[in-house]
């Protein structure tokens, strides 16, 4: 199978998956008694469905804006696209450090009642490595004289390396990063040159660095989307007349990331008190669901196979979208396992 046909097949498969299960009208399903989880989520928790992220940058003395400013713009644009796809609300003013974000946060007007915000997050991006070097290799040949070799060009190998660190913080909160995403990538090209210093056009060198960065950023999507995917809660349970199809209404709608065919994980949230008297929150996965083609601004209907649940679902159980690496990366056309290192705490 050619690469072109393979990619076409993958695109077709993706399109089918994104179509979502067709369930017809929910009104044709029988409403079922739906017990509540205890304790039931508070009004504040029920309102915590929309994720808001502020993008910030951090330049260093070694790598100031004059050197990596354009690269930082590319990073921010990629983050904006990924977060928006996940349904998060993004403030992309690109404030230049965490302190500036905190000052902006403190001055922000109180939110209107009913405005659903899960948490105020800030993603601080920093380029920690941005290097280009060139190595010269003299021409060689077993049957060539020194004069002949001196007339031939050598080989210049231009090597580019980029590393980007992206840290996630919660506002208000302390300076402890809740998640860190590190991208490290390298690339190179060769060209013939008589000059051992390997001079190269500024545009060609920049093209190499841009390509190395772009390849690294392609590995960022899944991890970022899973970290900032909005959540919702189960509200209703209905069953088809034949009793073979179970659907559940959630509070996660198109306004905050619900899309047909998206997979959801279902969690039972439990609260406990630790030995030192601190309150703790734990999430236990109890099942999976898929968003159907019945979606509204503030709701979605999901299909569930009861036989695959660890325990019966309850009203107030939490759902969150789950994103997977695309098939292309899994086929070896990417190398994200070598590029991306993620250290993520449970949200």
* Per-residue pLDDT, 16: 37
- 160/136 same-domain check: yes
- 40/62 same-domain check: no
> What secondary structure does DSSP assign to 47-77, as a single string?
TTT-EEEEEEE---SSS-HHHHHHHHHHHHH
In the block, tokens 């302390």 appear at: 174
* Per-residue pLDDT, 66: 94
Q: Give tens-digit pLDDT for 279-294.
A: 887 889 999 999 999 9
Question: 341 lies in a domain?
Answer: no
Q: How many domains does the chain have?
A: 2
Does the pLDDT of residue 347 top 60, yes or no? no
From residue 56, how far is each of 64, 167, 319 by CA, in Å?
A: 15, 10, 29
- 70/185 same-domain check: yes
Mean pLDDT along residues 204-228: 93
pLDDT grade for 17, boundaries at 50, 70 and 90: very low
- 188/57 same-domain check: yes
Beta-strand runs (E) in 138-206 = 154-171, 179-193
- 108/197 same-domain check: yes
- 140/208 same-domain check: yes
- 195/253 same-domain check: no
Give the CB-side neighbour count of residue 104, counting CA atoms within 13 A.
18
pLDDT grade for 114, boundaries at 50, 70 and 90: very low
CA–CA separation, 142 and 128 (whole Å): 44
Question: 326 lies in a domain?
Answer: no
Where is average pLDDT lowest: 81-85, 197-201, 287-291, 309-313?
A: 81-85
Residue 75 belongs to what domain range? 51-227
Where is average pLDDT lowest: 26-40, 217-231, 238-252?
A: 217-231
Q: Give tens-digit pLDDT for 150-169.
A: 889 999 999 999 999 999 98
* CATH number for the domain harbouring residue 139: 3.30.160
pLDDT grade for 10, boundaries at 50, 70 and 90: very low
- 212/97 same-domain check: yes
Question: 339 lies in a domain?
Answer: no
Residue 66 is classified by DSSP as H
Last residue in a domain, options 169, 200, 227? 227
In the block, tokens 């004059």 appear at: 66
Where is average pLDDT lowest: 132-146, 233-247, 315-329?
A: 315-329
Question: 73 lies in a domain?
Answer: yes
Any bridge partners for residue 290, and if so which?
A: 263, 303
CA–CA separation, 132 and 206 (whole Å): 9
CA–CA separation, 45 and 43 (whole Å): 5
Question: 214 lies in a domain?
Answer: yes
pLDDT higher at 229 or 65: 65
Q: What Rg value do the Cα atoms of the chain yield, rounded? A: 26
CA–CA separation, 285 and 324 (whole Å): 17
CA–CA separation, 269 and 90 (whole Å): 27
- 172/250 same-domain check: no
Q: Give tens-digit pLDDT for 65-112.
A: 999 999 999 999 999 999 988 888 887 665 566 666 666 555 554 444
Question: 329 lies in a domain?
Answer: no
**What phi and psi, each to the nearest 5 degrees, are found at residue 91?**
-100, 105
Beta-strand runs (E) in 60-153 = 89-95, 119-137
pTM of the model: 0.77
Q: Give tens-digit pLDDT for 267-281.
A: 998 888 888 888 887
């Amino acid at each position: 199978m050619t690469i072109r046909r393979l990619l076409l097949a993958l695109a077709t498969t993706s399109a089918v998956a994104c179509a979502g299960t067709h369930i017809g009208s929910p009104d044709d399903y029988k409403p079922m008694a739906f017990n509540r989880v205890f304790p039931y989520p508070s009004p504040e928790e029920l309102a915590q469905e929309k994720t808001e992220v502020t993008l910030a940058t951090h330049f260093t003395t070694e790598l100031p804006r004059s050197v990596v400013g354009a690269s930082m713009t590319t990073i921010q644009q990629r983050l904006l696209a990924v977060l928006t796809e996940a349904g998060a609300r993004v403030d992309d003013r690109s404030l230049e450090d965490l302190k500036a974000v905190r000052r902006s946060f403190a001055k922000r007007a109180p939110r209107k009642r009913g405005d659903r915000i899960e948490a105020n997050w800030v993603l601080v991006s920093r380029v920690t490595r941005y290097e280009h070097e060139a190595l010269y290799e003299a021409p060689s040949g077993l049957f060539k004289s020194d004069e002949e070799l001196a007339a031939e060009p050598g080989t210049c190998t231009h090597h580019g390396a980029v590393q980007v660190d992206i840290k996630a913080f919660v506002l208000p909160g302390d300076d402890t990063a809740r998640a860190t995403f590190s991208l490290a990538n390298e690339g190179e090209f060769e060209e013939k040159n008589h000059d051992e210093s390997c001079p190269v056009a500024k545009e060609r060198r920049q093209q190499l660095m841009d390509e190395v960065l772009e390849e690294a950023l392609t590995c960022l999507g899944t991890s970022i989307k899973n970290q900032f995917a909005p959540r919702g809660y189960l509200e209703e349970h209905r069953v088809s007349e034949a009793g073979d199809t179970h659907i559940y209404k959630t509070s996660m709608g198109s306004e905050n990331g619900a899309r047909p065919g998206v997979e959801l994980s279902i969690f039972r949230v439990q609260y406990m008190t630790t030995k030192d008297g601190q309150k703790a929150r734990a999430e236990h996965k109890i099942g999976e669901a898929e968003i159907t083609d019945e979606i509204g601004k503030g709701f979605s209907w999901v299909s569930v196979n009861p036989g695959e649940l660890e325990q019966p679902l309850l009203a107030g159980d939490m759902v969150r979208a789950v994103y997977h690496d695309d098939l292309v990366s899994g086929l070896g056309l990417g190398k994200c396992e070598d590029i991306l290192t993620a250290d993520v705490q449970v949200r």
